Amino acid sequence: MSNLEHPEVAVIVDDVIVRYPGTHETALEAANIRIGRGQRAALIGPNGAGKSTLLKAMVGLLPLTRGRIQVLGEPAHVGRYRVAYVPQSREVDWHFPITVFDVALMGRDAHLRWPRWPRAHDKALAMTALEEVGMAPLAKRHIADLSGGQRQRVFIARALAQQAEVLLLDEPFGGVDTATEQLIFQLVDQLCRAGGTVIIATHDLATLPEHFDQAVILQHRVVASGSPDQVLAAAVLAEAYGGPLALLHERAQHDLVN
Amino acid sequence: MTWLIEPLQYAFFLRALLVGALLGATCGALGCFVVLRGMAFIGDAMAHSVLPGVVIAYLLGVNIIAGAFVTGLLAAILISAISHTEQVREDTAIGIVFTGAFALAIVLISRTQGYVRDLTHFLFGNILGVAPGDVIIAAIVTLVVLSCMFLWYRELLVSSFDRTHAQVIGLHLNWLHMGLMALLALTIVSGIQAVGVVLIASLLVTPAATARLLTDRLTVMILLAALLGSGATLIGLYTSYYVQVASGGAVVLTSTLVFLLALIFAPHKGILARRVHQTLPS
């Protein structure tokens, strides 16, 4: 099944197993996930449930032990400007000598060929992206001068400057103020209305009904997936009984397909 | 001003100035990425690992610079390979490889009579003794290193700041790392003539660290580090000429002194400026 047959599907996860590098420990065993184009999808689960692993696999950062992941009709691999990824705990050096604008401009490096010198067009796109997240007035500031929320906005701006069709955000709301959270949801809505697909790893169930079209609960495997309502019902049941989620998952998949 | 011009009548001093300025600029510029990528220890290790190459090349009668370059790179590859086994951390791998290489050099030297005197040149440098050919080599190395930094600037910038993003957009991190190692080896090899194996790490690290205290812009930092590197070399050379002290030591001490001054007096990041900033009500 390829995206050519399913142009409405942005991401296909089939029978995937990902192991932690150098171990036999399974980080993720995802049976079947389909994420439609233009959808706002949530990956829900506690810490260490495999959310980040799945996002990393989608962007080609982690090799699959088994199965396949297709993003926009191609097997997941690095080096694709059509897929943007904003990782979680940012392992960047905040004391690096770099301005807010230069960080946003890095989104354009995905498109540029060696020696990757940015053109006026790229700079304009980076600036527009900063305007969209309200960070244009701080463009010339050093990245270390920013608050947690402002830094997250700048990294979202970098992803926007990349003009990707699929945007993967790993826990974007951690350590972020309410205004920034609202802004991120607003941008996500905007992107999806324009035909983009956004997948967000989060553990906040409360945001599901309002902000997402689709949700997947992960606990090293897909526990439930479907519409936010279905998934929430499954989550409630899981809490109550701690068991019959696999059944619900089948059910939810069935409902989603129809 | 005659004291500035007087030593220039000696060809050896003029050559030393030229090599010093080129080397100071190259080490300063490249050193920015060494400092920003947390590779200061690798720079030092590679400098020490170059020594067995020098000795082997001498024993075989082949080009010493080529020998040094090859062992420098071999050491970098070995460090990479050992830390990739994930059995030891990278800093441990560095510690093992460079002391091992240095020990190999010592063992080889102990079997070679009459070489000890020449060897002190490589350990501590003798910039006042550079030959005309060394000036050309220094110029070529400067040209190669600075051109590569210019052409791969975006790759170096992105991968130094955010490895994950660099990987996702398809940059080849391993190739970049090895490329940087090759440039480092090249710079070190041309630099040991001047300040020696033991002190070359200072030229790579100190001007870059000083520049970082003075600016928040990477391009400015690279230019400043190149200027500071050249400047310290020139001041050190004049000092060494007039005060009759070892040239390599004088160059490195100058650089260290400038760093300490910046650490205390730098406009925003200096200890004084930060203290003033803290006491002022915000």
Mean pLDDT of B249-257: 94
Residue listed under structure tokens 């690992």: B49
Residue listed under structure tokens 């947390």: B38
Report residue B20 as tokens.
């010093």
Choose among B153, B162, B170: nearest Cβ to A78.
B170
Residue A257 has pLDDT above 50, yes or no: no
Residue A10 has pLDDT above 80, yes or no: yes
Q: With CB atoms and an 8 Å threshold, state whether A114 touches B221.
A: no
Would you state the pLDDT for residue A246?
45
Would you state the pLDDT for residue A15?
92
Amino acid at B164: T
Q: How far is CA A26 from CA A9, A18, A23, A40, B173, in A?
A: 27, 6, 8, 27, 26
Reply yes or no: is the peptide bond before residue A63 cis, omega within 30 of 0: no
- Convert the pLDDT of each residue in B101-143 to its tens digit: 999 988 888 887 665 656 777 788 788 888 888 899 999 999 9
Would you state the pLDDT for residue B195?
81
Measure in Å the smallest separation between the Cα of B149 and chain A Cα atoms: 11
Mean pLDDT of B266-281: 87
The phi, psi pair for A169, rounded to 5°, reads -115, 120
SS3 assignment, position A84: strand
State how far the Cα of A256 lies from the Cα of A150, in Å rounded to an integer: 37
Packing angle, helices B218-243 and B11-36, rounded to 10? 140
Measure in Å the smallest separation between the Cα of A249 and chain B Cα atoms: 31
**Confidence tier at A244 by pLDDT (50, 70, 90):** very low
Would you state the pLDDT for residue B118?
67
Q: With CB atoms and an 8 Å threshold, state whether A106 touches B152.
A: no
Mean pLDDT of A219-242: 81
Would you state the pLDDT for residue B266?
95
Q: Is A116 on the interface with B (CB under 8 A)?
A: yes
Mean pLDDT of A85-110: 90
Gyration radius (Cα) of chain A, Å: 18
State how far the Cα of B5 lies from the Cα of B73, in Å rounded to an integer: 40
Report residue A188 as tokens.
């996500």
- Convert the pLDDT of each residue in A224-234 to its tens digit: 889 999 888 87
Across chain B, mean pLDDT equals: 90
Separate counts of helices (H) and strands (E) for chain A: 8, 10
Q: Which of B152, B219, B159, B163 is nearest to A117 (CA)?
A: B152
> Which pairing describes strands A26-36 and A197-202: parallel, antiparallel, or unpaired?
unpaired
Interface test mutation site (partner B, options A116, A119, A163, max chain B beta carbons within 10 A): A116
Residue listed under structure tokens 């490889």: B97
**Confidence tier at A250 by pLDDT (50, 70, 90):** very low
| Candidate from B44-53, B206-215, B249-258 with smallest mean pLDDT | B44-53
**Confidence tier at A248 by pLDDT (50, 70, 90):** very low
| Secondary structure (DSSP) of B45-109 | HHHHHHHHHHHHHHHHTS-HHHHHHHHHHHHHHHHHHHHHTTSS-HHHHHHHHHHHHHHHHHHHH
Cross-strand partners of A90: none
> Which pairing describes strands A40-44 and A66-71: parallel, antiparallel, or unpaired?
unpaired
Q: Which residues of A touch B86 (CB under 8 A)?
A: 22
Choose among B169, B217, B221: nearest Cβ to A79.
B169
Would you state the pLDDT for residue B246?
86
Would you state the pLDDT for residue B187?
93
Q: With CB atoms and an 8 Å threshold, state whether A106 touches B216.
A: no
Q: What does the DSSP 8-state code read for residue A25?
A: -
Measure in Å the smallest separation between the Cα of A168 and chain B Cα atoms: 12
Q: How far is CA B37 from CA A258, B149, B156, B177, in A?
A: 52, 14, 10, 10
Q: With CB atoms and an 8 Å threshold, state whether B169 touches A61.
A: no
Amino acid at A256: L
User: What stretch of H or E contains A31?
Assistant: strand A26-36
Longest CA–CA separation in chain B, Å: 68
Q: With CB atoms and an 8 Å threshold, state whether A103 touches B36.
A: no
| Candidate from A84-93, B206-215, B233-242 with smallest mean pLDDT | A84-93
Mean pLDDT of B70-90: 89
Would you state the pLDDT for residue B134?
87
- Convert the pLDDT of each residue in A12-47 to its tens digit: 999 999 987 777 888 899 878 999 999 999 999 888
- Convert the pLDDT of each residue in B158-177 to its tens digit: 999 999 999 999 999 999 99
Q: In terms of pLDDT, which residue wins out, A94 or A185?
A: A185
Q: With CB atoms and an 8 Å threshold, state whether B216 touches A142.
A: yes
- Convert the pLDDT of each residue in B9-26 to its tens digit: 999 999 999 999 999 999
- Contact predicate B76/B41, CB 8 Å: no
Q: Sheet containing A222-226: which strands, arranged edge to edge?
A: A83-86, A166-170, A197-202, A40-44, A214-218, A222-226
Q: With CB atoms and an 8 Å threshold, state whether A97 touches B154.
A: no
State how far the Cα of B99 lies from the Cα of B103, in Å rounded to an integer: 6
- Convert the pLDDT of each residue in A149-195 to its tens digit: 999 999 999 999 999 999 999 999 988 899 999 999 999 999 999 99
Would you state the pLDDT for residue A239?
67
Mean pLDDT of A192-202: 95
For CA atoms B88, B186, B210, B151, the dihedral sign is negative
Would you state the pLDDT for residue A2?
45
State how far the Cα of B218 lies from the Cα of B226, in Å rounded to an integer: 12
Mean pLDDT of B204-219: 96
Would you state the pLDDT for residue A89?
62
pTM, two decimal places: 0.91
Would you state the pLDDT for residue A1?
43
Across chain A, mean pLDDT equals: 88
Report residue B282 as tokens.
């915000």
Q: Which of A203, A199, A202 is nearest to A55 (CA)?
A: A199
Pure H helices in chain B? 2-5, 11-36, 40-60, 64-84, 90-110, 116-124, 132-151, 153-161, 163-168, 173-214, 218-243, 247-265, 271-279
The phi, psi pair for A221, rounded to 5°, reads -150, 170
Amino acid at A202: T
- Convert the pLDDT of each residue in B38-60 to its tens digit: 998 888 899 999 989 988 888 88
